[in-house]
Homo-oligomer: A and B are copies of this chain.
């Protein structure tokens, strides 16, 4: 059987982007890692950006699968939301590529790495938005703009799960779930 050079290239590139980031990954390096002439890469991808986009897309797809696996159509919206959010955050923290991109943006502000993370965030947002819409239709949630609501949910989750840590002890996962429930679901007003 003929060896699949495209796959070799994609795997080598994924490894290198995860390990060294966007900027520090060179096409020569990818070619060497993939045991392939550099020209071969350019028969599959027009340029470095397209190669990176393909790899970002797989990451997003994988994340969707991970989230979807956690989703229980019979369960309540907030149960699902909490489990799926937990999964997504774990995933983001664990997945080398996502971690590396975040560091690269913070440290040297590579525009392409920023764009990649934005694509990731957009994908998460539209995923949540669909689930919010479904919950509204089922009558589990009050009527509201699903886009703004998804946005607020993500921001709140990120605020509690990551921004809070920059100046305080991290909140435990159960604590986050509880706060999320209090603030967004039940509301703060007495009576």
Complex copy number for this chain: 2
Across-interface contacts of A189 in B (CB, < 8 A): 78, 140-142, 185-186
Q: Are B142 and A151 in contact (CB under 8 A)?
A: no
Mind listing 23 A-B residue pairs with CB under 8 Å?
A78-B189, A140-B189, A140-B190, A142-B186, A142-B190, A144-B188, A148-B160, A148-B164, A149-B183, A149-B188, A151-B159, A151-B164, A152-B156, A152-B159, A155-B155, A155-B156, A156-B159, A183-B184, A184-B188, A185-B187, A186-B187, A186-B189, A187-B188
Residues on A lying within 8 angstroms of B by beta carbon are 78, 139-142, 144, 148-149, 151-152, 155-156, 159-160, 163-164, 171, 179, 182-190
